[in-house]
Copies of this chain bind each other. A is one copy, B any other.
Amino acid sequence: MTTRRFEPIDSGVTPRFAGHATFMRLPVVVNPREVDVAIAGVPWDGGTTNRPGPRHGPRQVREMSSLIKRVHSVTKISPYELCRVADVGDAPVNPIDLDRSLESIRAFFAQIVAAGAVPLSVGGDHLCSLPILRAVAAKGPVGMIHFDAHSDTVDTYFGGLKYTHGTPFRRAVEEKLLDPKRVVQIGIRGSTYSADERGWALAQGMRIITIEELEDLGVDAVIREARRVAGEGPTYISFDIDALDPAVAPGTGTPEFAGITSREALRLLRGLRHLNLVGADVVEVSPPFDPSGGTALAGANIAFELLCLLAESFAARKA
């Protein structure tokens, strides 16, 4: 097992637009045993109920991540000095077959977990989080800090279908992948199918912080609440890009008006240091609906924040 660290290509030497696009301009390393934090794409949107496109998300986020440099300017974290980080490629997927895709995604991430690495996934639609959780939480339920416009805890769609991008976290609770009492959902908003749409989640003990509550409490209080809910246990972070305001991230399948601003998003994420993180994802970036590329840019920045959190948490566990 190598202990080689990986460095992004230096954009002060090789321009950002040159070379193959990989996450953060990192090398491609296919053996998960060689990495500590594995950045993977999941180019699949077979759970999408409305506008499709997140299957194209990983490539476009890779492209935009060329803009990210080595060091976090606020925390001064350079993840590449803390541990071994690389682009491990895309999970195998099948755009036609939902069941096989859920299994092949799970198996891909199970390998990463088995190798001792922490996965950072770039989707793909939000159903992708379910097979990742099956890998990450194979040994017991995890907590989750979940940024989203939607709770994604609907029971079924379209006549009883249990697996869509609106249902992953209901399934994850049922499968005991998530401990609902350690789940907090931030940025929830928008019209609902029924007045009680969020009732099931609340009944399980999930903490829902709507965009209105976020605005009333302020970012710092939300951070404290999120940390309280997640606690000390193993925790996953899932960031649906539609948590952000559509002015920031129009390129997504079910844009929801009046969301989290870009500055709030960064501040919230930066408030999540020193948790016990076992994985993270950013999902629902849909390039066909993103004419300015702003959504992929948001995705790349969110991914970098998550990377810094994961690297620091990984390093702390190893220390």
User: Which A residues are closer than 8 A to B by beta carbons?
Assistant: 10-22, 28, 41, 43, 45-53, 55-56, 58-59, 62-63, 67-74, 76, 78, 87, 89-90, 92-98, 100, 154, 157-159, 161, 163-164, 188-195, 197, 210-212, 215, 245-248, 250-251, 254-259, 261-263, 265-267, 288-294, 297-298, 301, 304
Contacts and interface: CB of A to CB of B under 8 A. Distances in A.
Copies of this protein chain in the complex: 6
Nearest to A48: B95
Contacts of A18: 41, 43, 55, 58, 90, 92-93
23 contacts: A13-B158, A14-B92, A16-B50, A18-B55, A20-B89, A52-B52, A52-B53, A67-B254, A69-B190, A70-B191, A71-B197, A73-B188, A74-B212, A96-B157, A96-B158, A246-B294, A250-B294, A251-B292, A255-B294, A257-B262, A258-B265, A289-B292, A292-B292
Contacts of A263: 211, 215, 245, 258
Contacts of A76: 195
Most chain B CB neighbours (cut-off 10 Å) among A78, A93, A94: A94
A187 to B, nearest CB: 11
Interface of A is mostly: loop
A192 B73 contact: yes
Contacts of A16: 49-50
B193 A70 contact: yes
A48 B55 CA distance: 12
A74 B48 CA distance: 26
